[in-house]
Structure 1
Amino acid sequence: MDSPMGNVEQRVVRVVADWCGPQDTDVTAQSRLADLGLDSLTLLEVSLGLQKEFGVAVDDEQMAEAVTVAELVGLVKERLPADE
């Protein structure tokens, strides 16, 4: 079984995919947020989704500066307790 830290990427990808709507595009860690159609309002919703999923808050400014899903993964991992 994967460790909680090991599946952070999968969980972030799932949260982002939930906000991409009915697109045929596969969401991966390398996906660019703009290419997925995520605007500033949608990124706010993604931020709330990440907070609900992981129990950590990501600063709105940092969310707005993120370019890829992998960068969101990094922001979440920075905020998780070290023992997770």
Structure 2
Amino acid sequence: MPLLTRNKRIERVSSAAELFSKHPHLKESAQQFVSRSPESVDPKQLLYVQQREFAVTTPADNSVSILGSDDATTCHLVVLRHTAHGLKFL
């Protein structure tokens, strides 16, 4: 499955430094994201994902409005959103 950003395919890179040098907007977006203040959320609509788990939700899901985790001490979290359907994958 190809990885796209701004409707352009991201070709294979060998390091994060190379990725950010080819796509500086990704680093800028990440810096904006981490500079945000934490927000309290209603646990009734939160789907919490732990290590070795994954989750998928759709905009039509009335039970889940937030998909997240804080379980990434030595792991990576990736959140993908399908722009046509709004599906979110974690």
Q: State the TM bucket, normalised to the shorter chain.
A: under 0.3
More strand by share: 2
More helix by share: 1
**Which protein shows a greater Rg?**
2
RCO higher in 1 or 2 (8 Å CA, sep ≥ 6)? 1
TM-score by length of 1: 0.23
